[in-house]
Chains A and B, each alone.
Chain A
Amino acid sequence: GQSLEQPSEVTAVEGAIVQINCTYQTSGFYGLSWYQQHDGGAPTFLSYNGLDGLEETGRFSSFLSRSDSYGYLLLQELQMKDSASYFCAVLHQAGTALIFGKGTTLSVSS
């Protein structure tokens, strides 16, 4: 079976840095993705890690350690608009569909 674990909720203040962790147990591993979803909206792609290491896209970075079955999403210089749910998702092999975690609700306050 496949399982992904991430915290259910995280709170932070504007300007802070937040790290959302994701651990996975899957039959095979191809890559890890992160998606953002605002209330009532659609999931939108943030980043993809196929190899170990850090991928940086503006204020957001994502990290993967295949040996530890672990990844994280790092959000810097938090803004109110970053309040949303964040999902990690695993591709367990090439040519398959993403399996999503339950999501982490991030609340950013002023």
Chain B
Amino acid sequence: DAGVIQSPRHEVTEMGQEVTLRCKPISGHNSLFWYRQTMMRGLELLIYFNNNVPIDDSGMPEDRFSAKMPNASFSTLKIQPSEPRDSAVYFCASSPGRDQTEAFFGQGTRLTVV
């Protein structure tokens, strides 16, 4: 398996633009997670899906952020409109069961909003 695949790897956008990050989890994994990593705040959970259903979105910072998982092999995280403070590395991870006892992370998307 190729592991968790994220695209793009790098994104530079202007403030106010819409940004869409994409994730393909490992085939057969039931759970998918979006995390954001910054120096100041570390790794923060944004949202968690189980069997394509959002279970916990309490980490989504505000209405500008939205996430979808239309099927078991694809998820998106959208920021609209983007702001400079959204600059971070966004990681997608998947795990085979309901419990995240072992999570597999993608290589991340480095987002820079100027």
**Could you tell me the dominant secondary structure of chain B's interface residues?**
strand
Q: Interface size bucket, B side?
A: 20 to 34
As a 0/1 sequence over residues 10 to 40 of chain B, the CB contacts with chain A under 8 angstroms (1 = contact) are: 0000000000000000000001010100000
Residues of A within 8 A of B99 (CB): 30-31, 91, 94-96
A95 lies within 8 A of B105 (CB): no
Q: Quick check: which of B43-51, B62-70, B73-81 contacts chain A, the rest being far away?
A: B43-51
A99 adjacent to B105 (CB under 8 Å): no
A41 to B48, CA, bound (A): 21
Residues of chain A within 8 A of B102, CB atoms compared = 33, 45, 48
Within the complex, the shortest CB–CB distance from B89 to chain A, in Å, comes to 9
For A31, the closest partner residue in chain B by CB is B101
Q: Evaluate contact between A91 and B107: CB separation under 8 angstroms.
A: no
Provide a sorted-by-A list of 9 A–B residue pairs whose CB atoms are within 8 angstroms.
Answer: A41-B107, A45-B103, A95-B55, A95-B98, A96-B56, A98-B33, A98-B45, A98-B100, A103-B43
Q: List A residues at the B interface (Cβ < 8 Å).
A: 30-31, 33, 41-45, 48, 50, 87, 91, 94-103
Given A94-B98, A96-B99, A97-B31, 17 further pairs, Cβ under 8 A: A30-B99, A31-B99, A42-B105, A42-B108, A44-B105, A48-B101, A50-B101, A87-B43, A91-B99, A91-B101, A94-B99, A95-B50, A95-B55, A95-B98, A96-B48, A98-B103, A100-B45
